[in-house]
């Protein structure tokens, strides 16, 4: 009996080691808790983030141990990537946003239009009669398809009233990046310099790749099997993140 318990403990130990290795160097699951990336990522989405996409830093490992301050096997991120990073404010909290500005870029809002390096980002109105969540509030918004200079396209939404009209010019420092949420008027991101601001490359955790599961908690508990057709968003299972 004692020998069987020891063997079971060994098996569990090895399983944990394998899981830790995969989580640290290949893929880590994340949960979307807020509406800052709607309509592209919804509250209740569960996704896989690839840890190898930009190389490895201390934040690739659980609890971010202070064993190395640089980045190993670094790979350059691309504008438009959806990335999980540790917020500069505490180096602990995970945020997920879209990469807009690279080191040296200049970002500014002028008359509600987004400018990158003094050139207006192309955008096309997709829908003007929709609403979107913002915490407990519902916003009337316009849906736009934005196109970055590298050809990356995605949906971004702006409030019809009260959206950011003009801003100062954000100049991205060396080795730092500028992020924004796709739900532009419901996102704490690099525009808020005191709380998020420019994100150091070493704070990157990984690239969001795939939604593997999604459920709408507002429609009931996952354990109510008879309501799965309402609770589970089957159309989002195994959906690639753009």
Q: Establish whether 97 is a catalytic residue.
A: yes
Q: Which is the catalytic residue, given 34, 35, 36, 60?
A: 36
Whether 57 is catalytic? no
How far is the CA of 72 from the CAs of 22, 59, 96, 104, 208, in angstroms? 17, 12, 22, 22, 19
**Residue appearing with tokens 């990046």:** 177
Strand partners, 27: 50
Confidence of residue 30 (pLDDT cuts 50, 70, 90): very high
Q: Which domain holds residue 174?
A: 2-240
Residue range 127-176, pLDDT digits in tens: 988 899 898 889 999 999 999 999 999 999 999 987 877 899 999 999 99
What are phi and psi for residue 13, nearest 5 degrees?
Answer: -60, -45
Q: Which of 10-19, 134-143, 146-155, 224-233 has the highest mean pLDDT?
A: 146-155
Tens-place pLDDT, residues 76-105: 999 999 999 999 989 899 999 999 999 999
CATH number of the domain encompassing residue 147 = 2.10.109.10
Instruction: Give the predicted TM-score (pTM) of the model.
Output: 0.91
- Catalytic residue (choose from 35, 97, 190, 207): 97
Number of domains in the chain: 1
H or E element in which residue 15 lies: helix 2-25
Distance separating alpha carbons of residues 214 and 153, to the nearest angstrom: 23
């Amino acid at each position: 009996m004692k020998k069987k318990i020891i063997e079971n403990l060994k098996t569990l130990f090895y399983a944990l080691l394998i899981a830790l290795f995969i989580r640290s160097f290949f893929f880590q699951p994340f949960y979307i808790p807020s509406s800052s990336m709607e309509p592209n990522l919804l509250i209740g989405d569960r996704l896989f983030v690839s840890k190898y996409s930009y190389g490895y830093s201390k934040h690739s490992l659980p609890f971010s141990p202070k064993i190395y301050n640089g980045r190993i096997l670094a790979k350059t991120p691309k504008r438009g990537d959806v990335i999980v990073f540790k917020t500069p404010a505490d180096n602990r909290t995970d945020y997920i946003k879209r990469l807009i500005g690279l080191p040296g870029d200049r970002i500014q809002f002028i008359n509600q239009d987004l400018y990158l390096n003094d050139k207006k980002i192309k955008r096309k109105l997709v829908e003007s009669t929709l609403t979107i969540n913002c915490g407990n509030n519902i916003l009337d918004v316009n849906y736009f398809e934005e196109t970055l200079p590298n050809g990356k396209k995605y949906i971004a939404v702006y409030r019809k009233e009260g959206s950011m009209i003009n801003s100062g010019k954000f100049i991205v420092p060396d080795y730092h990046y500028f992020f924004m949420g796709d739900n532009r008027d419901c996102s704490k991101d690099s525009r808020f310099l005191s709380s998020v601001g420019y994100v150091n490359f070493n704070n990157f955790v990984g690239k969001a790749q795939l939604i593997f599961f999604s459920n709408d908690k507002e429609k009931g508990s996952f354990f109510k099997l008879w309501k799965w057709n309402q609770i589970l968003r089957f159309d989002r299972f195994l959906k690639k993140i753009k």
